[in-house]
Amino acid sequence: MDLDVTRFAVALVALTLVVVAVLTLARVRRRTDAVVAIGRSVVQLALVSLVIAWAFRHPAAAGALLAVMVVAAGVTSTRRIGLGRAVLPVALVAITAGAGVAVGVVLASGALPGGAETVVPFAAQVVGGAMTACSLAGERLRDDVADRWGEVEAGLAIGLTPRQSVAEFAERAVTRALTPALDQTRTAGIVTLPGAFVGLLLGGAEPAEAALVQTLVLAGLLAAESVTAVAVTQLLAGRLGATRPTPA
**DSSP 8-state code for residue 167:** H
Q: Where does the pLDDT of residue 28 fall: very low under 50, low under 70, confident under 90, or very high at 90 and above?
A: confident
Per the domain annotation, does 79 fall within a domain? yes
Predicted structure pTM score = 0.82
Per the domain annotation, does 225 fall within a domain? yes
The per-residue pLDDT for range 118-176, each reduced to its tens digit, is 788 888 889 999 999 999 999 999 999 999 999 988 998 998 898 899 999 999 999 99
Task: Tally the domains of the chain.
Answer: 2
Q: Which amino acid makes up residue 42?
A: V
148 lies in the same domain as 86: yes
136 lies in the same domain as 230: yes
86 lies in the same domain as 133: yes
Per the domain annotation, does 162 fall within a domain? yes
Per the domain annotation, does 203 fall within a domain? yes
Single out the residue in 35, 57, 79 at which a domain terminates: 57
The per-residue pLDDT for range 178-206, each reduced to its tens digit, is 999 899 888 887 776 666 666 666 666 67
Contacts (Cβ under 8 Å, ≥6 apart) of 66: 120, 123, 124, 127
104 lies in the same domain as 181: yes
150 lies in the same domain as 84: yes
Per the domain annotation, does 247 fall within a domain? no
Per the domain annotation, does 21 fall within a domain? yes
End-to-end CA distance of the chain: 44
Task: Please give the mean pLDDT across all residues of the chain.
Answer: 87
Q: Is the pLDDT confidence value at 247 over 70?
A: no
Burial classification of residue 145, based on how many CB atoms lie within 10 Å of its CB (0-12 exposed, 13-18 middle, 19 or more buried): buried
The predicted pLDDT at position 235 comes to 95
Beta carbons within 10 angstroms of residue 230's beta carbon:
21
pLDDT above 90 as % of the chain: 49
115 lies in the same domain as 25: no
Instruction: Look at the chain and count its residues.
Output: 248
The predicted pLDDT at position 59 comes to 75
Angstrom distance (rounded) from CA 200 to CA 130: 23
The predicted pLDDT at position 226 comes to 96
Q: Which residues of 55-64 are buried (b: 16+ CB within 10 A; e: fewer)?
A: beeeeebbee
Domain with 184 in it: 60-242
197 lies in the same domain as 88: yes
Question: How many degrees, rounded to 5, is the angle at CA 205 between CA 203 and CA 207?
Answer: 125
Per the domain annotation, does 248 fall within a domain? no
